[in-house]
């Protein structure tokens, strides 16, 4: 006998909360398997949940968060048709329920009546989403263009760098070198790229970002310099702390994962620690971070404020999403302008409009803008400019 739809919603909610029994899991998986579009999401959920059950029958509280992340990563691989949301709605496991039990494609959740689905639009040059692309400046000043499809070997002296699609791979070095040369990886607006450094550490660069780094690490430290936004996954090396220089501050780590947001048009430089430990230094000020904390360094005063972080918001861009967590329209427009390589045109913005939820970064801008309109603001793309039109 079939169950009503809301019974499956409740069952999936229990799953996301880590409270499903084996029988309940079987019932839920059989239901999800009835629709082929849900199977990639089902596979991610099932793999994660069964792994945790094998390791520990007391399901940890963080399971729901990990499942949501896996769901987002699966969804980001396909094009989605969004649903409009006009006001801030905090993302929760309930949003994942609505997401999965609808058509498994809508990622922007609202408790208001859903607006009609936007028609699928052909991607055109203006308003197209970003892609893997960058320019690599070698130590001799020559420039190599990198893109999503490139596969090449780049030689500079004794160092051979491989590019495979959207990644650069430097050869691992056994120890410090007395000869140090530097590369500059610059990602334009509308791009992203990642690099594996000579120590095995991996760095992802977001749009409008750059990193200067040595082709081999020297002496007793590993130091890189960044602008914009980057996510670091650092390999621990005894006696060689990893140092990130950004603006007028330093981040010192031994082995950890963290995100740094340091765009020139933002008032603060924000470091969000995912795991491990870091020390943030700004002039005479310094603070230690624990996992789940973020340090905001005021770019004018150098003061450091440490507070709990929203890890999903800080790292959603790596999973292929915008995460607007109680975000103002001005903040939303900044993110859109970097990723879609467009400008914004507005004199003032109305106060009080806040947005929340996820939007797939693979959507054309023409499909994103209607999702952000309110009764006070309309958004229009003219050429390469987003025009903000106030209706009241």
Residue-wise pLDDT for 170-222, tens only, equals 988 755 555 678 999 999 999 999 999 999 999 999 999 999 999 988 778 89
pLDDT at 53 over 60: no
pLDDT at 121 over 60: no
Q: Are residues 282 and 158 in the same domain?
A: yes
Q: Are residues 365 and 242 in the same domain?
A: no
Please answer whether residues 109 and 88 qualify as being in contact, where contact means their C-beta atoms are separated by less than 8 angstroms: no
Distances (CA, A) of 373 to 26, 85, 120, 330: 41, 8, 18, 13
pLDDT at 51 over 90: no
**Six token digits for residue 184:** 């500059």
Task: Share the mean pLDDT of the chain.
Answer: 77
95 within a domain of the structure (yes/no): no
Average pLDDT estimate for 94-113? 35
Per DSSP bridges, beta strands 385-390 and 343-345 are parallel
Domain hosting residue 377, numbered range: 320-390
108 within a domain of the structure (yes/no): no
**Six token digits for residue 193:** 């790229």
Q: Are residues 207 and 239 in the same domain?
A: yes
Q: How confident is the model at residue 87 (pLDDT cuts 50, 70, 90)?
A: very low
Give me the helix-helix angle, 5-16 and 63-75, nearest 10°: 110
Q: At which residue do the structure tokens 């760095």 appear?
A: 203
pTM of the model: 0.71
Q: Which of 263, 288, 313 is the last residue of a domain?
A: 313
Asked whether the CA dihedral 260, 202, 129, 184 is positive or negative, the reply is: positive
Distance in Å from the first CA to the final CA of the chain: 53
Residue 334: the pLDDT is 93
Interatomic CA distance for residues 191 and 159, integer angstroms = 26
**Six token digits for residue 317:** 């861009």
Interatomic CA distance for residues 87 and 371, integer angstroms = 10
Q: Are residues 174 and 271 in the same domain?
A: yes
Return the higher-pLDDT residue of 240 and 43: 240
Q: Are residues 64 and 189 in the same domain?
A: no
Burial of 234-273, coded b for 16+ CB within 10 Å and e otherwise, reads: bbebeebbbbbebbebbbbbbbbbbbbbbbeeeebbbbbb
**Count of domains observed in the chain:** 3
Q: What is the domain-level CATH number for residue 352?
A: 3.55.50.30
Q: Are residues 263 and 332 in the same domain?
A: no
Interatomic CA distance for residues 234 and 170, integer angstroms = 14
Q: Are residues 266 and 196 in the same domain?
A: yes
* Cα torsion through 293, 297, 298, 302, rounded to 10: 140
């Amino acid at each position: 006998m079939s169950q009503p739809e809301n019974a499956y919603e409740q069952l999936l909610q229990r799953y996301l909360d880590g409270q499903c029994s084996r029988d309940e899991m079987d019932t839920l998986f059989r239901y999800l398997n009835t629709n082929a579009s849900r199977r990639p999401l089902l596979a991610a959920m099932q793999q994660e949940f069964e792994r945790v059950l094998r390791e520990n029958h007391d399901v940890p509280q963080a399971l729901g968060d990990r499942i949501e992340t896996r769901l987002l990563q699966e969804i980001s691989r396909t094009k989605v048709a969004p649903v409009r949301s006009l006001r801030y709605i905090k993302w929760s496991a309930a949003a994942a329920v609505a997401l999965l039990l609808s058509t498994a494609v809508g990622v922007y959740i609202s408790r208001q009546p859903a607006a009609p689905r936007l028609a699928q639009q052909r991607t055109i040059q203006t308003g197209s989403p970003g892609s893997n692309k960058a320019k690599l400046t070698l130590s001799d000043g020559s420039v190599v263009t990198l893109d999503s499809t490139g596969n090449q070997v780049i030689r500079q002296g004794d160092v051979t760098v491989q590019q495979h699609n959207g990644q650069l791979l430097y050869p691992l070095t056994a120890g410090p070198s007395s000869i140090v040369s530097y590369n500059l990886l610059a990602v334009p607006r509308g791009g992203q790229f990642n690099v594996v450094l000579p120590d095995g550490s991996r760095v992802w660069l977001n749009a409008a970002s750059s990193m200067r780094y040595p082709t081999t690490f020297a002496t007793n430290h590993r130091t890189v310099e960044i602008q914009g936004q980057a996510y670091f996954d650092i390999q621990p090396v005894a006696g060689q702390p990893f140092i990130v220089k950004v603006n007028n501050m330093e981040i010192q780590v031994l082995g950890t994962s963290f995100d740094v947001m340091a765009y020139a048009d933002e008032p603060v430089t924000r470091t969000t620690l995912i795991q491990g430990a870091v020390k943030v230094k700004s002039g005479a000020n310094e603070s230690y971070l624990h996992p789940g904390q973020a340090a905001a360094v005021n770019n004018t005063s150098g003061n450091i404020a440490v507070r709990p972080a929203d890890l999903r918001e800080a790292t959603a861009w790596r999973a292929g999403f915008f995460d607007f967590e109680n975000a103002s329209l001005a903040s939303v427009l900044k993110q859109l302008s970097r990723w879609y390589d467009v400008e914004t045109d507005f004199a003032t913005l109305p106060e009080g409009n806040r947005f929340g939820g996820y939007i797939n970064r693979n959507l054309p801008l023409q499909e994103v803008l209607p999702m952000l309109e309110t009764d006070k603001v309309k958004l229009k793309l003219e050429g390469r400019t987003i025009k903000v039109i106030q209706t009241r």
